[in-house]
Structure 1
Amino acid sequence: MRLPDLILRYRVPLLVIGALAMGLLLGRVLFRQAGQEAQHQPSHEQATVWTCSMHPQIRMNEPGKCPICGMDLIPVGSPGSAEMDPMAVHLGEEAMALANVRTMQVGAGSVEGSLRLTGRVQADERRVYAQSAHVAGRVEELLVDFTGERVAIGRPLAVLYAPELVTAEEELLQAHRTRDAQPALYQAARAKL
């Protein structure tokens, strides 16, 4: 085969391989430039932040006394560090010993002791049913079983078993077959449903 025929035959795989190669090359160039820019940026020395152990909302850039209670301020860390998270609790070794806090690695194992908790038992709304019906029967299966479930027009809500309804349907079908001969019977069967 000639070269132009081979190119036409394998044009899709060649285009895919070419696009991949271009993407890898472009990604390498872009990410290398971003990495080099990050290396050339000057690093800023960040000052330690001091806070009161009783009033963590007090934050100062230098040691001193808490303006609320007069206690000595303690160092927290740099302003950009994770230690500055106001929703997190950070304890040093001494504070952990004073507070009698122990930590351990999470793992599988047996549990010692028991734990008693208070709570409230609430019924699962998917298991509680209440529906008024015009015929005697029972719901065999509930197809929409929790609050907020979307229901489309024409979608069945439940599967109902009602012997009276089955009998009335059979009477209507029989009356439908003889509706020309007995129109009054047909109208009575329709009214029954």
Structure 2
Amino acid sequence: CKLFGYDRMLPMNTGAEAVETALKMARKWGYEKKGIPAGKAKIVVCEGNFHGRTITIVGMSSDPDSTGGFGPFTPGFEVIPYDDLPALEKALEDPHVCAFLVEPIQGERGVYVPAEDYIPKAIALCKERNVLFIADEIQTGIARTGRLLASCHNSGCSCSKGLCEDPDPAKRPDAVLLAKALSGGMYPVSAVLANEAVMEVFTPG
């Protein structure tokens, strides 16, 4: 937590578990904090995404090879084009949206680096609409892009000094998902990082 500047960390075993936990956290936050009516929470994701292979996660994929033969899928997701701020802004008009889950760099079918201002402006839009911005850094985190997190680029974060120290917390994701590189490949581990105001929706037990 200290390294990345968040209050809490919830450890898991796999990247897919981290994503599933983040989805649960976002929905629960939507109901308890944002006041979304029960059963109406929606999460926005992007075309071309890869967040894992569980039934819920493949259900929000735009890849027919991932979805074919596995339906029906978990409802409550809206898929929009990647690196498209107007599409995100339109999706966030729905008051039932509780979160935007996105990879700062897509890396499943080639490497897709978005426009330099995409992530910072997407974070700003989410803050403006009271929507959680969840950065899936499972493939990009732990200095794989030259910064501790790919979402640190163009954000003003000084993580090049060894710690994520953003002078403006409003420019940071509400939650970050990590896995693969946490253990250097020595053992399976993943994590959901978030601040108290978000993570407190989970209670022990």
Under a length normalisation based on structure 1, what TM-score does the superposition of the two structures give? 0.15
* Higher relative contact order, structure no. (Cα contacts within 8 Å, ≥ 6 residues apart): 2
The answer to which structure has the higher strand fraction is 2
Structure whose CA Rg is larger: 1
TM-score, structure 2 normalization? 0.15
